[in-house]
Amino acid sequence: MERIEHRACFGGWQDVYRHRSHALDCEMRLAVYLPPQASERPVPALYWLSGLTCTEQNFINKAGAQRYAAEHGLALVVCDTSPRGEGVADAAAYDLGMGAGFYVNATVSPWSRHYRMYDYVVHELPELVEKHCPLTDARAISGHSMGGHGALTIALKNPGRYGSVSAFSPIVAPSRVPWGEQAFSAYLGGDRETWRSYDATELVKTANEKLPLLIDQGDADEFLHSQLHPEWLQQAADAAGHPLELRMRPGYDHSYYFVASFIGEHVAYHAAALRR
């Protein structure tokens, strides 16, 4: 990893790196916040997945999470939302192509060459940062919107890999909403049965590990009734006996103002889970 940003922050360091990704076959950027405790010992990490159009910069600049990570001795690992660069397939729409990887392994050309964000997040990213940074192998995962979808599905598909999971405004049923239908049709093809393996409402029905799910959702979110439908995941979790805490937040929308308002609670939640 080549460090390209290094800034003091709440007694620790907010760094940004670039590296060549084998999973994505392109150069990627990622951000790592190391709390002050990391100067004395390896620390656990919270992996953050951002939403549509975002890069590694949005969360580290807007969420204000570093303050809470420093208090709890938790590192923050933030990746980009898709492969990027010359030769990487793209689309004119903001919700497909670069900035919209949806944390799946694409199987349809031309996307299948680079769009393997699932493998990148689950395997390559932790191997890379745990090798180069003072991190333990204790991991939590969270995200916003498309990243909330990624966090939930990745945690449900990988029992034992994460000590906790949470999400802000997640796309819980991408197989049934416009954002997901467009992306899955392009990346995975027309067979809807294959989409189920990246849909949290489907995965929760048969999850072997009952890892509790924590979700914050604003009731003034402009995408609540068209793209998000958290009640569908609540219904599926209740039927499967899977623990889920869905907190509807009055007046909050889909923005980072919402994320910043409650990120401290999420960091504390993950820190407590990783200590256990």
34-60 CB burial, b ≥16 within 10 A, e <16: bbbbbeeeebbbbbbbbbbebbbebbb
Q: Look up 221 and say whether it is catalytic.
A: yes
The residues with which 186 forms a beta bridge, in sequence order, are none
> In whole angstroms, what is the distance from residue 220 CA to residue 264 CA?
21
Set 21, 82, 145, 166: catalytic member: 145
Sign of torsion over alpha carbons 15, 31, 55, 273: negative
Of 184, 202, 84, 198, residue with least CA distance to 151:
198
Whether residue 261 lies in the annotated active site: no
Catalytic residue among 72, 149, 242, 254: 254
Q: Which one of the listed residues 82, 221, 242, 270 is annotated catalytic?
A: 221
Instruction: Clarify whether 226 is annotated catalytic.
Output: no
In this structure, the dihedral spanned by the alpha carbons of residues 18, 63, 154 and 15, taken in order and rounded to 10 degrees, is 20
Write the DSSP assignment of 203-260 as a string of letters: HTTT-SS---EEEEEETT-TTIIIII-HHHHHHHHHHHT--EEEEEETT--SSHHHHH
- Mind telling me the catalytic residues? 145, 221, 254
